[in-house]
């Protein structure tokens, strides 16, 4: 089995491309799993990244790299056809990681080290929700389950053992800090209008209250504003009242990512600050040209995000690296367990066949019993050294040599299903990080 991650984020492509790729990837993981092309898949889609985590079994004799290129080609074709992007462009926009490389990348992401606001904690919840959604869709394999559980443990360690993110910075908080700088008055006297009812909208509501904003209205094109405000406070705004709500608002915050952005003509005259946190844009960029209007976007947030201290980043990076190594070692040990089981099964099958011959010649006699005991002791003795050697090679990261040796000497194949079965945490070794095309 091969674990992989295909990644497009603010670090290697523009946010518009991330948005189009995310649109093209909707539902694709589920389709690939149900068709049998992938054994498992989890999709992480946020305001500034699309990450596809998957697991597949290479065809017999195929190298993991070749097999990954084939999977990437299929995904690129599907995403391209759904998003209107050229498949080659899609391939070039996705960074590829395998096995321990995929684990290391996920641990880095969930710890906030790759966020636009380094150390932000919102990403931890987003990764958790991605796993939950995949579980509900029935697309999580055992390897992926262990991978994401290990990621959650790593994020907790970073949160408790380092100062990274302890100031509570996030994309929302930085955006509201920027809005505070360009909006008249104080939060206590400002009126806010929030578009959307998802996780980002909830985080925005909480952040506004923390700053003292009490007058918050919420609009949802899907009609969920009333239910949303019942749980979180605020006042729902129906479509017919939206124009008046815009007129009242000092700060307008988009968190919905609707199918089409609101045009500049929909905004009434007058000064206001517009904050667009939606990946696919809630507002036409032309609103920035309106008199008295200040527009803050995700790109604005990324450029304004403060840097974390080098010490905090280095400490978090060390935790991530150790977690990735432990994860790979754990998977290596499970591979060797499966190999030892396969060798024992093979040897005991040979023994049972020989004992069957003895029984057919001598029947159930005392001599036959003595022969069986002697043969079983001999087999246990013969298996001792290969078992010890297996553990030694696993500790040295050379488990593939052992598994290859079993196949060469005895014709024993360790099935992928057996190698994935035992509990613990996953991946093996990093093979390659990127497809040939540049991101």
In a shared domain, residues 135 and 185: no
Residues of the domain holding 40: 2-167
Q: Give the end of a domain, one of 143, 167, 191.
A: 167
pLDDT in tens, 165-199: 666 678 899 999 999 999 999 999 999 999 998 87
Task: Give the percent of the chain with pLDDT over 70.
Answer: 80
47 catalytically annotated: yes
**Does residue 426 sit within a domain?**
no
Using the structure block, give the residue that is written with the tokens 């008055």: 185
Alpha-carbon dihedral sign for residues 264, 269, 271, 272 = negative
Per-position DSSP letters for 359-407, written without gaps between them: HHHH-S-HHHHHHHHHHHHHHHHHHHHHHHHHHHHHHTT-HHHHHHHHH
Helices (H) and strands (E) in the chain, counts: 16, 10
Catalytic residue among 47, 213, 255, 364: 47
**Does residue 334 sit within a domain?**
no
Between 393 and 282, whose confidence is greater?
282
In a shared domain, residues 13 and 144: yes
The phi and psi torsions of 235 (rounded to 5 degrees) equal -120, 125
Per-residue pLDDT at 166: 67
How far apart are the C-alpha atoms of 142 and 121, rounded to whole Å? 26
**Does residue 431 sit within a domain?**
no
In a shared domain, residues 84 and 154: yes
**Does residue 226 sit within a domain?**
yes
Counting Cα atoms < 13 Å in the Cβ hemisphere of 173 gives 17
CATH of the domain at 120: 3.30.460.30
Q: Is the pLDDT of residue 413 over 90?
A: no
In a shared domain, residues 162 and 197: no
How far apart are the C-alpha atoms of 390 and 394, rounded to whole Å? 6
Q: Give the end of a domain, one of 121, 145, 167.
A: 167
pLDDT in tens, 310-365: 788 889 999 999 999 888 877 655 555 566 666 677 677 766 776 677 666 666 66
In a shared domain, residues 276 and 149: no
Domain count, the chain: 3
Distance of CA 61 to the CA centre of its chain: 29
Question: Is 205 within 8 Å of 194 (Cβ atoms)?
Answer: yes
Interhelix angle 122-137/199-210, rounded to 10 degrees, is: 150
pTM reported for the whole predicted model: 0.67
In a shared domain, residues 146 and 20: yes
344's tokens? 């024992």
In a shared domain, residues 179 and 160: no
Q: Give the end of a domain, one of 280, 304, 328.
A: 304
**Does residue 184 sit within a domain?**
yes
Neighbours of 369 (CB within 10 A): 12
277: which DSSP letter? -
How far apart are the C-alpha atoms of 163 and 313, rounded to whole Å? 9
In a shared domain, residues 34 and 138: yes
């Amino acid at each position: 089995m091969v674990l992989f991650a295909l990644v497009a984020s603010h670090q290697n492509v523009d946010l518009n491309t991330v948005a189009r790729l995310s649109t093209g990837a909707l539902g694709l993981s589920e389709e690939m799993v149900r068709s049998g092309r992938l054994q498992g898949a989890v999709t992480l889609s946020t305001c500034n990244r699309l990450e596809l985590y998957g697991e597949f079994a290479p065809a017999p004799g195929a190298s993991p790299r070749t097999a990954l290129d084939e999977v990437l080609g299929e995904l690129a074709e599907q995403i391209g056809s759904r998003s209107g992007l050229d498949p080659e462009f899609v391939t070039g926009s996705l960074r590829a990681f395998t096995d321990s490389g995929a684990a290391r990348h996920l641990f880095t992401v969930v710890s906030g080290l790759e966020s636009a606001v380094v150390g932000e904690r919102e990403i931890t919840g987003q990764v958790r929700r991605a796993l939950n959604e995949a579980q509900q869709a029935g697309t999580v394999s055992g390897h992926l389950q262990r991978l994401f559980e290990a990621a959650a443990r790593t994020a907790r360690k970073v949160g408790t053992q380092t100062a990274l993110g302890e100031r509570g910075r996030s994309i929302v908080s930085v955006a509201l800090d920027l809005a505070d700088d360009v909006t008249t008055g104080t939060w206590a006297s400002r009126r806010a209008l929030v578009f959307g009812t998802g996780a980002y909208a909830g985080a925005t509501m909480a952040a506004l209250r923390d700053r003292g904003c009490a007058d918050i209205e919420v609009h949802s094109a899907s009609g969920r504003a009333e239910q949303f405000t019942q749980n979180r406070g605020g006042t729902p705004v129906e479509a017919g009242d939206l124009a008046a709500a815009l007129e009242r608002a000092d700060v307008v915050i988009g968190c919905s990512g609707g199918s089409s952005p609101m045009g500049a003509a929909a905004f009434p005259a007058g000064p206001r600050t517009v904050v667009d946190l939606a990946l696919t844009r809630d507002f036409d960029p032309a609103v920035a040209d309106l008199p008295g209007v200040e527009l803050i976007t995700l790109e604005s947030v990324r450029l304004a995000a403060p840097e974390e201290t080098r010490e905090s980043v280095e400490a978090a990076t060390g935790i991530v690296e150790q977690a990735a190594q432990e994860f790979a070692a754990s998977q290596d040990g499970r591979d060797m367990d499966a190999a030892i089981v396969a060798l024992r099964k093979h040897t005991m099958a040979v023994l049972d066949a020989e004992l069957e011959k003895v029984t057919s010649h001598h029947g159930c006699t005392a001599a036959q019993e003595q022969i069986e005991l002697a043969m079983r002791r001999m087999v246990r003795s013969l298996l001792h050294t290969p078992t010890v050697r297996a553990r030694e090679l696993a500790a040295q990261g050379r488990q593939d040599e052992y598994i290859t040796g079993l196949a060469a000497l005895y014709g024993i194949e360790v099935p992928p299903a057996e190698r994935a079965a035992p509990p613990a945490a996953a991946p093996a070794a990093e093979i390659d990080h990127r497809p040939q095309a540049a991101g």
